Structure 1
Amino acid sequence: MRIAFYGSSLLSSYWNGAATYYRGLLSDLARRGHRVTFHEPDAFGRQQHRDMDPPDWAEVNVWPATGEGLRAALARAGEADVVVKASGVGVYDAELLRGVMAEARPDAIRIFWDVDAPATLAELRAAPDHPLHAALPGLDLVLTYGGGPPVVEAYEAFGARRCVPVYNALDPSTHHPAPADPRFAADLSFLGNRLPDREARVEEFFLRPAAMLPGRGFLIGGNGWHDKPMPANVRQLGHVGTREHNAFNTTPLAVLNIARDSMAQVGFSPATRVFEAAGAGACLITDAWVGLEMFLREGEEVLSARDGADVAAHLAALTPERARAIGDAARARILAEHTYARRGAEVDALLREEAARRRERAAA
């Protein structure tokens, strides 16, 4: 099938945490014979911070973030058998949602793909005039980055015909063990952009343990942290491109995952970082959230923490040997159960099932 996907960016991970997710899923769908066109705006400096060239498995249409550019991008929705509007494009989101669905052919499969479902659902509850309220009855599928049963129930209560979580995963061709790099040497590392609904949890789960363990080395990567006061034993890297993620994850004793507020509250929402770190064989420490056991076993494949004191205790007790054993076990589990090949197979089956349903309706 021809898939027109309207999202934030395929070519750049700059202020774009969904890049790895898009790349893993869409490249697998292309390997299954689907023809993917990714429509992304030239916005937020992402085109100036590309960490990927246009791939051979997708056409990438970079459109000017202007009214004229929007209209030209929308016009191409009519070319596709499947049209997808992702959440969080960042510019013209409401116009894209209405326009993509309006321009789609009558027989096209219409999908809203939510890469931040807890936040979107909070917006729907707060805003009766949110454009998604009007769009949901006409959509064939809502796919989500995660969220489990709470997100499915909430979307269906808002009128979605069908909501299916498609979780983050690992592409072992891009994220894997790598030689250690002295630039990333630390006892505990964290990678994530500074966002309003994450900052307090970073203070608790990362900066507090750093203050509690002044003799240990801490490393933080991501945009926006340059003017954040931090303990003296914390080094800041700024943006870390995806090409460096493997060394970033492989080098330190342990890597920390911190969920955003909404995702931690809903649960069932592992970030891409969880799979990237596990794929590199890192010893992962994560803040605790409901549904973790669906992906990794506590104490054997991951260490979970209720607060900063738990993080500090885990780190103080961690030996290189145990860290290596946890990282190896996590990598084996993720490779066996949570790859983008598996996720791509799930989406491919959903598309084929929906296409068959349409044929049946047309024949009736």
Structure 2
Amino acid sequence: MAGLEIAFFGSSLVSAYWNGAATYYRGIIRALAARGHRVTFFEPDAYDRQKHRDIPDPDWAGVVVYPATESGVSWALEKARGADIVVKASGVGVFDDELAAGVLGIRRPDGLAVYWDVDAPATLAQLDANPAEPLRALIPKFDFVLTYGGGPPVIKAFRALGAQACVPIYNALDPDTHHPVPFQPKFFADLTFLGNRLPDREARVERFFLDAAARLPDKRFLLGGNGWHDKPMPANVKALGHVYTADHNALNCSAMAVLNISRESMAAMGYSPATRVFEAAGAGACLITDDWVGIPTFLEPGREVLVARDGAEVAEQLAALTPERAHAVGQAAMRRVLAHHTYEQRAVLVEALLSGMDVTHLRLTEGV
């Protein structure tokens, strides 16, 4: 098919600082570019992200940084006018409602407008709590709602809001970015968790990570991410602060095991694997995850991932883990994600949807 011109409004492509969706954006957009599509990513100069860039402007996407002001939003929308596809991602962080309405306003008569939700459970909870939210009236006007997780419950909820179509485009692996690297002593740990301190994550980090650390005082635990510097924690936990994406592989490859902890809303909805799941698996790390509905869709419990329901079970899994067992689980996970969960495969689905092709033969497309 001929390459599409795509204008994409999101939080940031070049900075992962307070921006957990960055690696998801990069994986999807880079894979679309490899298939001949031209993406321009529009991001606001907000939250000091431009001061904490992880990457320079890439050669596989244009990047337009606009002032985080009403006039800046209007300028960016005009610059995006004329694209074949216009995308508004959730969680841009400034002027989200204005951007959603604006993207619909610049859609060409023969073009498409897409709402791409990178935190669907939280969006749905917000819409449910406040019927007057402007986004509620806009959802039916988009040609597609795409989400980076949520499965059947999210599809059902968006369809109930009037979405014309809702399709999960799940997180995945970019094997050129996340892959095995040599062990680095500074990142050695028995268990590592990486995630920013957020309101609907903190209690679960206490329950799954800090509780496990308290139960295993002879083990070393690393905690990466923004916001944890003043959090009380056991003496065997070291807080690293923000970990730049260039260090993610070494972080994943230098621990006996890596822990995934879903945010409360995502765990409740299910079918919402975080980017970290695929990044860790792609590096061959042994992954322990909190329990949520839909895990077998992505990794086989007990063989490709270890599952725990609370900190006590995390501690049990870790105490029983040997280097040989950890290696076997990590290698099995890496084989699975390389075979079935790469951004190249996700891009095939996105391309098919946007070009009006039949997608019923593709994986992970329930609910179209």
Match of 1:154 in 2: 157
- Which residue of 107, 114, 117 maps to 1:114? 117
Provide the C-alpha distance between the structure 1 equivalents of 2:224 and 2:156, rounded to a whole number of angstroms: 35
Match of 1:334 in 2: 337
Unaligned runs of 5+ in 1: 356-364
1:31/1:242 Cα in 2 relative to 1: closer, same or farther (>3 Å)? same
Query: Which consecutive aligned stretches of 4+ in structure 1 deviate over 4 angstroms post-superposition?
Result: none
Match of 1:25 in 2: 28
Provide the C-alpha distance between the structure 2 equivalents of 1:43 and 1:256, rounded to a whole number of angstroms: 30
Match of 1:239 in 2: 242
- Which residue of 307, 310, 314 maps to 2:313? 310
Could you report, residue by residue, the CA deviation over 1:298-346 in whole angstroms, capped at 9, with x for unpaired residues?
Answer: 1100000001000000000000000000000000000000000000000
Provide the C-alpha distance between the structure 1 equivalents of 2:330 and 2:11, rounded to a whole number of angstroms: 31
Do 2:82 and 2:106's aligned partners in 1 also have CA atoms closer than 8 Å?
Answer: no
- Which residue of 223, 247, 251 maps to 1:220? 223
Could you report, residue by residue, the CA deviation over 1:40-66 in whole angstroms, capped at 9, with x for unpaired residues?
Answer: 000001000000111111110000111
Provide the C-alpha distance between the structure 2 equivalents of 1:158 and 1:225, rounded to a whole number of angstroms: 36
Do 2:283 and 2:334's aligned partners in 1 also have CA atoms closer than 8 Å?
Answer: yes
Match of 2:127 in 1: 124
Do 2:147 and 2:166's aligned partners in 1 also have CA atoms closer than 8 Å?
Answer: yes
Provide the C-alpha distance between the structure 2 equivalents of 1:174 and 1:14, rounded to a whole number of angstroms: 18
TM-score by length of 2: 0.95
Provide the C-alpha distance between the structure 1 equivalents of 2:39 and 2:134, rounded to a whole number of angstroms: 26
TM-score by length of 1: 0.96
Provide the C-alpha distance between the structure 1 equivalents of 2:193 and 2:60, rounded to a whole number of angstroms: 31
Match of 1:269 in 2: 272
How far is the alpha carbon of 1:79 from its aligned partner?
A: 2.2
How far is the alpha carbon of 1:354 from its aligned partner?
A: 7.0
Question: Once the two structures are aligned, what percentage of the paired residues are identical?
Answer: 66
- Which residue of 129, 139, 142 maps to 2:142? 139
1:194-209 superposed matches below 5 A:
194-209=197-212
Match of 1:186 in 2: 189
Provide the C-alpha distance between the structure 1 equivalents of 2:99 and 2:12, rounded to a whole number of angstroms: 14
Amino acid in the other structure paired with 1:291: G
Provide the C-alpha distance between the structure 1 equivalents of 2:269 and 2:139, rounded to a whole number of angstroms: 21
State the number of aligned residues.
355
Could you report, residue by residue, the CA deviation over 1:188-223 in whole angstroms, capped at 9, with x for unpaired residues?
Answer: 000000000000000000000100100110000000
Provide the C-alpha distance between the structure 2 equivalents of 1:47 and 1:220, rounded to a whole number of angstroms: 24
Amino acid in the other structure paired with 2:70: G
Provide the C-alpha distance between the structure 1 equivalents of 2:256 and 2:119, rounded to a whole number of angstroms: 30
Do 2:44 and 2:65's aligned partners in 1 also have CA atoms closer than 8 Å?
Answer: yes
Provide the C-alpha distance between the structure 2 equivalents of 1:317 and 1:33, rounded to a whole number of angstroms: 48
Could you report, residue by residue, the CA deviation over 1:10-54 in whole angstroms, capped at 9, with x for unpaired residues?
Answer: 000000010110000011111111110000000001000000111
CA RMSD of aligned residues (A): 1.0
Do 1:77 and 1:104's aligned partners in 2 also have CA atoms closer than 8 Å?
Answer: no
